[in-house]
Amino acid sequence: MSQDICVIVPTIREYECTRSYFGNAREHGFDLSRLHVVLVTEDFCETDEMEAMLEEESVSGEVFDGSRREKWYDAHDVSEYGHVVPVASHAETSFGLLYMWAHDEFDYGFFIDDDTLPHPDEDFFGRHMENLTFEGDVESVASDERWVNVLYQNADDHGLYPRGYPYSAMGETVETNTTHIDAGEVVASQGLWTNVPDLDAVRILMDGDLEGQAQTRTASEDFGDDFVAARGNYLTVCSMNLAFRREVIPAFYQLPMDDNEWNVGRFDDIWSGVFLKRACDVLGKRIYNGSPLCEHNKAPRSTFDDLNNEVPGLELNEHLWRVIDDVGGDADDYADVFDAMGRKLADGEWEQYNNGAFFNYVGEYMLDWLECLGTLTSGAGLETDRTQVVADD
């Protein structure tokens, strides 16, 4: 079988976790020759050891620290867009998306965080691929707040809301139905997580934990059937355990965080999920949620460090989804929807919000993202005004 899956792992320390994923693939008979692994790391990390590990595992892959990323940008004539991937930030997963876009043999991508492990009893890669090709009936979840808590299935017991879920949407009334999914409709598969739940710092503090983890933990029993969020409903998308189709990359930019004058961080995958869900609703696509579960083993760290990173963007997070909720409705591809959302943010006046100018900043970066993808493919499939300018230069 051809090498059609790009596995993107941002890591600065626990890169050896990937051995468990390779072992899981072997245990369940998944063909490892389909994988090409991109380890996104930094100059101060053990790049030689990472390369040796991939060789020992007989898995195709490359390691990109900061210096190697710069060389890659130069080689692909996109150095002027190097800023779209922040340094030493979880959002550097966007480099993996650029890499995928430049190599059209990859039909599928995976995001795996280095503080996770696969559940031994689940075929991690195989189940995600089944989800991406799912056809049939599945549970559809909606709420009167138009937000779906991906931990809703046992929320009466644990009371958890995931990182990025708006505080104003809490206390929602949940409604479930059955909907039919056609072949090709699922474009992203979000696996959920046991052990340490993915919470924001405020919720971790309310749970009485000062080490950035949470006292309340999740187990396999907290999750039931797989589900999708209904049309017009948003959900948090966490990139620690995620598979997706190549086609979504124009609308799946992991937003620039951490290295900005407003000190906004921790919303890169959350906001990218909001944009992707809007694009999916416009284009008739779906984000599938549930299995395969992973074990999230978040390392202890100061909850207040995370709080300091999150507070500058908390108010913006409450309003972002409303800002883009009616944008791009007449678009016919992901790039068009993303372009419309980017322009809305870039050109808007957001002084009513704390750090509102960050919306303008994000919008400009979204448009730069499309330009960069257009440059990588000479504008093919990305016929926005800005990418057309690039093609004409």
Report residue 386's pLDDT band, with 50, 70 and 90 as the boundaries: very low
pLDDT value at residue 391: 31
List pLDDT tens digits, range 133-192: 999 999 999 999 999 999 999 999 999 999 999 999 999 999 999 999 999 999 999 999
Q: Is the peptide bond before 250 cis (omega within 30 degrees of 0)?
A: no
Would you list the domain boundaries of the chain? 5-392
Q: Write down the H helix ranges in 93-230.
A: 93-102, 124-132, 155-158, 201-206
Report residue 1's pLDDT band, with 50, 70 and 90 as the boundaries: low
CB-based contacts of 207, cutoff 8 Å, min separation 6: 199, 214, 215, 216
List pLDDT tens digits, range 263-319: 999 999 999 999 999 999 999 999 999 999 999 999 999 999 999 999 999 999 999
Strand 108-112 with 5-10, pairing = parallel
CA–CA gap between residue 251 and residue 254 (Å, rounded): 9
SS3 229: strand
Residue where the block lists tokens 């949470």 = 214
Task: Compare 381 and 192 and report the one with higher pLDDT.
Answer: 192
In this prediction, what percent of the chain has a pLDDT beyond 70?
A: 96
List pLDDT tens digits, range 66-94: 999 999 999 999 999 999 999 888 999 99
Q: What is the DSSP string of 77-102?
A: T-GGGGGGS-TTSGGGHHHHHHHHHH
pLDDT value at residue 389: 29
